Amino acid sequence: MPSKLKGLLTGLALSASLFAQPALSADRELLNTSYDIARELFAAYNVHFSKYWEAKTGETLEVSQSHAGSSKQAQAIIQGLKADVATFNQVTDIDILHARGGLIPENWAERLPNNSSPYYSTMAFLVRKGNPKNIQNWDDLIKEDVALVMPNPKTSGNGRYTYLAALGYAQDRFGDDQTKIDSFLQDFLSHVKVFDSGGRGATTTFIEREIGDVLLTFESEVLNLADRYENGEYEVVTPKVSFLAEFPVTWIDEYVKQNKTEDLAKAYLEHLYSEDAQRLLAGFNYRVHNETVKQETSDRFPEVKLLPIDAIAGSWENATNEHFASGGKLDQLQRRR
Amino acid sequence: MNASQSSRHRRVGDSPVIKWLLIGIAVAVALALLIVPLLVIFVEALGAGWGTLADNLTDQYTLHAIGLTLFVAALTVPLNLVFGTALAWLVTRFRFPGRKLLITLIDIPFAVSPVVAGLLYLLLYGRNGWVGSWLADYDMQLMFSWPGIVMVTVFVTCPFVARELIPLMQQQGSEEEEAGVVLGASGWRIFRTITLPNIKWALIYGVVLTNARAVGEFGAVSVVSGNIRGQTNTLPLHVELLYQDYNIVGAFASASLLAGIAVFTLAVKGFVEWRQTRSLNRLQTEETAQ
């Protein structure tokens, strides 16, 4: 019995060491925490960056990925998930790493170009084959018989972006006329047939359940969907005015110090701005900053007047308090329906 | 006697129409809620053929998820086996103040939602938690690595063995053990030669349930895992990840593995129950023969 027990324990210890450690074939390791639908994007970028890093320094690299909703990821990092870099889809979730965790400095956004957002996207429309309701811009969405599908602004960042994009359009068109802005937004919300809890849910409602005439979500998602279903079954409409959705990145100072990965983490994020990497990002239907790549992909990404959060609501904090908090503008406009 | 009884008060269920209607409803519900969804998993997993299924299952990250899940179960089951047996032994063979309270406390993991359990562990053992911040000073990290996953899994599954054993051991009573004590046997010997044979099948049943739950646990593990692919992603988390990636076939392939474990569990459970009844019957026959 004791020898059997010993055997069992040795076996367990062996398998423990197997699963406790990542494959230690590489010289260095990096952990990237990311939002839930960026798996393929970073799977491709990690290969690209590992090659670049090995050519530059001779060190082999193992980049691990963690994917979940970016608010959940931020919480995990604060509670001790020792990630070297965070690549999120919401600025507020990185701000929290400073405000609640004290893990990064307050000026994190100034450490890399373009507000530390190497790529960006905007909100766009997906319509059914032939665009039967002739949707071209935001004001077409409030025509009599148009039904919309979008994620719920209360529960999803994606939905908040869509709401802010509509608000931005109204401000751009009506200027200071608050009554007209409110009445447009109210009209817009009353055309939404289904508010799904998240972006993927809205996509399923539109495509699988065939509800609604227009799906409102990220341009990257809309382009992916149009690619996925050939024969022009769905068409992409990019409105003339929309919201600038940034995809912020940062290295996590506290943990890169502990993990001794500061140089690597910085290089990993800085390299996202290189021409090759920007081309790769554009391949995943994100808009990028590099001029050469921009010109190459101009037919895919038509000119849009992009409004940043500052122009629409002042700041994320304002937007949350004024529009999305309980009893805020969003609630008022929906109640008055 | 039957005839006279039914003529005196006819019950609703006696009419063949009602009987078949009820059976029909039961079968329809079972089909719609249990059997068809289970079949769909396998149909979807095989939707793109056996080759794709094999490809999906031998993917580097899927293999790691399978290994990690089995590893967590391999640690959880023995821990809870010992804990559950000791606990059941304690509350059924000894009287002490607070015994009833202890029996109630065993059920806490059943009463608490797994997500809440995960959060509790995170708040206690996380970087800012009471214990976690102290451990961090010694550079030890439990959450977002496999020890954390094992901890919450042990918590969520710890009532199963005890819950199976307690009613049985209460029913059996302690006469046989008392006889052992009178005859001068040591505690260990009493346990090995009297208690263990008596509770053998219930114990196995508890282990089967513990294992099934440990392998399938999602909520609590999701909170403390950190979702690192190839490091802390268990099979149920992996299913969700693949699904969100639109890799439906891959998600169903991994799900079919979990479903396979479930079906296997049911088979073992059926076998154990059959053995249990058989040994009981044999016992009764022997008693009558004597």
Asked if A203 and A216 touch (Cβ cutoff 8 Å), the reply is no
Residue of B nearest to A23 (CA): B230
Q: What residues have CB less than 8 Å from B260, skipping those under 6 apart?
A: none
pLDDT digits (tens, 9 = 90+) for A276-328: 999 999 999 999 999 999 999 998 999 999 999 999 999 888 998 999 888 89
Q: B85 is written with which tokens?
A: 């047996």
B74 contacts A80? CB cut-off 8 A: no
- Across residues A211-216, what is the average pLDDT? 95
d(CA B247, CA A127): 24
Q: Which residue has the higher pLDDT, A147 or A11?
A: A147
Chain A contact set for B145 (CB, 8 A): 20
- Across residues A253-269, what is the average pLDDT? 95
From the list A22, A37, A80, which residue is nearest B231 (CB)?
Answer: A22
- Across residues B256-273, what is the average pLDDT? 86
Tell which of B81, B139, B225, B231 to mutate to test the A interface (max A CBs under 10 Å).
B231
Q: A114 is written with which tokens?
A: 């373009």
Asked if A91 and B253 touch (Cβ cutoff 8 Å), the reply is no
> Residue A120: in which H helix or E strand, if any?
strand A119-121
pLDDT of amino acid A19:
54
Matching residue, tokens 């199963």: B160
Q: A293 is written with which tokens?
A: 């790549």
Chain A contact set for B119 (CB, 8 A): none
Q: If pLDDT is split at 50, 70 and 90, which confidence band does A12 have?
A: low
Chain B contact set for A82 (CB, 8 A): 141, 144
Q: Where are the domains of chain A?
A: 25-120+246-296, 123-243+304-335
pLDDT of amino acid A245:
92
User: Predicted ipTM?
Assistant: 0.72
Instruction: Tell me the CATH number of domain A25-120+246-296, given options 3.40.50.150, 3.40.190.10, 3.40.1440.60, 2.30.30.790.
Output: 3.40.190.10
d(CA B136, CA B120): 18
Total length of chain A: 337
Query: Is 0.95 surpassed by the pTM of this model?
Result: no
From the list A15, A20, A66, which residue is nearest B226 (CB)?
Answer: A66
Instruction: Tell me the CATH number of domain A123-243+304-335, given options 3.30.420.270, 3.40.50.2300, 2.60.120.380, 3.40.190.10.
Output: 3.40.190.10
Ramachandran area for residue A179 (φ above 0: left; ψ -120 to 50: alpha; else beta): alpha
CA distance B289 to chain A (A): 37
pLDDT of amino acid A1:
43
Cα A151–Cα A152–Cα A156 angle in degrees, nearest 5: 80
pLDDT digits (tens, 9 = 90+) for A32-68: 999 877 888 999 999 999 999 999 999 999 999 998 8
DSSP state of A308: P
Chain A contact set for B74 (CB, 8 A): 12, 15
Q: A180 is written with which tokens?
A: 């007209």
Decide if A302 touches B, using CB distance below 8 A.
no
pLDDT of amino acid B127:
86
- Mean pLDDT across chain B, nearest whole number? 87
CA distance B226 to chain A (A): 6
B143 contacts A20? CB cut-off 8 A: no
Residue of A nearest to B136 (CA): A80
> Residue A196: in which H helix or E strand, if any?
strand A192-196
Report the percent of chain B where pLDDT is more than 90: 38
Asked if A181 and A173 touch (Cβ cutoff 8 Å), the reply is no
Asked if A46 and A36 touch (Cβ cutoff 8 Å), the reply is no
CA distance B227 to chain A (A): 5
**Strand partners of residue A236:** A126
pLDDT of amino acid B200:
87
B226 contacts A81? CB cut-off 8 A: yes
From the list B71, B127, B141, which residue is nearest A16 (CB)?
Answer: B71
**What structural domains does chain B harbor?**
1-45 (no CATH), 49-289 (1.10.3720.10)
A31 contacts B228? CB cut-off 8 A: yes
Tell which of A21, A41, A42, A67 to mutate to test the B interface (max B CBs under 10 Å).
A67
From the list B64, B74, B126, which residue is nearest A79 (CB)?
Answer: B126
pLDDT digits (tens, 9 = 90+) for B8-17: 566 666 788 8
pLDDT of amino acid B247:
79
Chain A contact set for B230 (CB, 8 A): 22-23, 64
| pLDDT of B1 over the 50 cut | no
> Residue A242: in which H helix or E strand, if any?
strand A241-243
Nearest CA among A322, A309, A303 for reference residue A109: A309
Chain B contact set for A81 (CB, 8 A): 143-144, 226
Q: Give the neighbor-by-neighbor strand order of the sheet with A249-251.
A: A61-67, A28-34, A85-87, A249-251
CA distance A107 to chain B (A): 23
The residue type found at B85 is T
The residue type found at B35 is I
| pLDDT of B187 over the 90 cut | no
Decide if A78 touches B, using CB distance below 8 A.
yes
Tell me if residue A61 falls in helix, strand or coil.
strand
pLDDT of amino acid A156:
80
A–B: how many Cβ contacts below 8 A?
A: 72
Chain B contact set for A12 (CB, 8 A): 71, 74-75
Q: What residues have CB less than 8 Å from B61, skipping those under 6 apart?
A: B229, B230, B233, B238
| pLDDT of A24 over the 70 cut | no
CA distance B129 to chain A (A): 8
Decide if A64 touches B, using CB distance below 8 A.
yes
Residue of B nearest to A204 (CA): B246
- Across residues B276-285, what is the average pLDDT? 74
B229 contacts A66? CB cut-off 8 A: yes
pLDDT of amino acid B6:
47
**Same-fold call for A25-120+246-296 versus A123-243+304-335:** yes
- Across residues B62-68, what is the average pLDDT? 93
pLDDT of amino acid A8:
55
pLDDT of amino acid B3:
47
| pLDDT of B230 over the 90 cut | no
